[in-house]
């Protein structure tokens, strides 16, 4: 009985993923042609459903004021959602906001944590992004005490342990 229910639902479950991917692709296409209002309208439902790439892009749009009023605090909120779901681009950008105190209180420990996670979360093909996260991390260390560095490393490790599945992120799912 349960097997037949599962097999009956399988086509529906499988059909959801391509539709969501196509929706994100359309939203990205709108974003890259500069149609930020349409991009936001298409991305918001995806982001609210937990799509970490859509969350990252919404954070980026708020931080930069693309199609919405510039609001680093909203950018940090959306980056935070994506970062918590393992998006290394959001993790790095959230680290930058913490480093400079834009949209969040300046916090070198949190900046280091997010830079550390971003540096270890990028795929091999994203080497340039990884290097940027490492440089950000090195820059912030110079402003921290050894105790702060230790605390930040502990926070990053706790996050990794609690979210071990994020290391298997497929290339297209940022």
Distance CA 123, CA 87 (A): 11
> What pLDDT, in 10s, does the model give residues 31-88?
999 999 999 999 999 999 999 999 999 999 999 999 999 999 999 999 999 999 999 9
Query: Which stretch of 30-44, 138-152, 159-173 has the lowest confidence by average pLDDT?
Result: 159-173
Task: Quickly count: other Cβ atoms within 10 Å of residue 68's Cβ.
Answer: 16
Please state the domain extents for the chain: 14-162
Choose which CATH entry (2.30.30.40, 1.25.40.10, 3.40.50.1370, 3.40.250.10) describes domain 14-162: 1.25.40.10
């Amino acid at each position: 009985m349960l097997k037949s229910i599962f097999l009956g639902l399988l086509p529906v479950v499988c059909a959801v993923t391509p539709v969501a991917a196509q929706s994100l692709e359309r939203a990205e296409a709108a974003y890259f042609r500069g149609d930020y209002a349409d991009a936001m309208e298409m991305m918001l439902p995806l982001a609210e459903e937990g799509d970490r790439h859509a969350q990252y892009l919404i954070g980026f749009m708020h931080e930069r004021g693309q199609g919405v009023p510039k609001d680093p605090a909203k950018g940090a909120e959306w980056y935070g959602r994506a970062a918590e779901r393992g998006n290394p681009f959001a993790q790095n950008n959230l680290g930058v906001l913490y480093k400079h105190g834009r949209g969040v209180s300046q916090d070198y420990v949190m900046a280091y944590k997010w830079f550390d996670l971003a540096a270890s979360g990028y795929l091999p093909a994203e080497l340039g992004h990884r290097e940027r996260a490492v440089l950000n991390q090195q820059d912030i260390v110079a402003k921290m005490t050894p105790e702060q560095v230790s605390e930040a490393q502990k926070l990053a490790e706790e996050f990794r342990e609690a979210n071990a599945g994020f290391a298997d992120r497929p290339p297209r799912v940022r």
